Structure 1
Amino acid sequence: MEHYTIATVAEQSPDFRRVLWTGKNTQLVIMTVPPGGEIGEEVHEDIDQILSFVSGVGEAIVSGEKRKVAAGDLVVVPAGRKHNFVNTGENPLILYTVYGPPEHAEGAVHATKEEADAAEESGQDEPPTE
């Protein structure tokens, strides 16, 4: 069994992206988006994503629709939808997200968005295959 006090774990991580747990069908990831930063516009063709916001404020953009997000909010991004999340506040935007199926390499830790983008582009951030 894996057990997390997820808000606390997420708030203690300084990393842009940290994979906490990877299963066969889902993956748990925590993220810290710095002020003025963003996750980056993307589309996961075959992956559903659920994002739960722990602290900070931001803007969710999913399929062109914009909504403000803050602690306690949850956003569902169905597979195939273009999306981005932008930190619009003065403090880090902290969240955890569940991908189904996994999207990132098991145990991946990326300190910055630039590091995360480089790992994806180089093929070092591939989800596990069965």
Structure 2
Amino acid sequence: MTQETQRTTLPIVEMAKENDEFRQVIWTGKQAQLVMMAIPEGGEIGGEVHEGHDQLLYFVEGQGEATIGEVKADVQAGDVSIVPSGTFHNFRNTGSSMLKLFTTYSPPEHEPGTEHVTKSEADAE
């Protein structure tokens, strides 16, 4: 689904469960952005810091470990991780299936329409 559909209500949990791409930007506004992610078994998002961007991550399937600042916590379906602007964070898949989630950035972090099938594709860009 692309932003061109201009839908304002989405079945995002089902969409995230069906997603197998590392990153897919679903919608971008002036102040926020909605992105789906799928992290393969043993994979990770990769440690990073977003200056000027708050991020919320909503987990819908799988198991993982969240590192936010100095705090590590297990995550699973139904959990939300909060990453304030300027805070180091990483998310690792510790389960035996894909770790699937959707995330919001405020303000937007990625170009509208961005799609990365794999993490190595995202890193190359």
What CA distance in whole angstroms lies between the structure 1 residues aligned with 2:60 and 2:116? 19
Is 1:78 the equivalent of 2:84? yes
After TM superposition, which residue ranges in structure 1, 4 or more long, deviate above 2 angstroms? none
- Among 100, 109, 114, the alignment partner of 1:108 is 114
Quote how far apart the aligned CAs of 1:118 are. 1.1
Quote how far apart the aligned CAs of 1:38 are. 0.2
Quote how far apart the aligned CAs of 1:95 are. 0.3
Is 1:52 the equivalent of 2:58? yes
User: Which stretches in structure 2 are left out of the alignment for 5+ residues?
Assistant: 1-6
Is 1:88 the equivalent of 2:94? yes
1:39 counterpart SS class: coil
1:37 counterpart SS class: coil
TM-score using structure 1 length: 0.90
How many residue pairs get aligned? The number is: 119
Q: CA RMSD in A?
A: 0.7
What CA distance in whole angstroms lies between the structure 1 residues aligned with 2:68 and 2:93? 15
**Equivalence for 1:5:** 11
Q: Percent identity?
A: 52
What CA distance in whole angstroms lies between the structure 2 residues aligned with 1:30 and 1:2? 16
User: Which stretches in structure 1 are left out of the alignment for 5+ residues?
Assistant: 120-130
TM-score using structure 2 length: 0.93
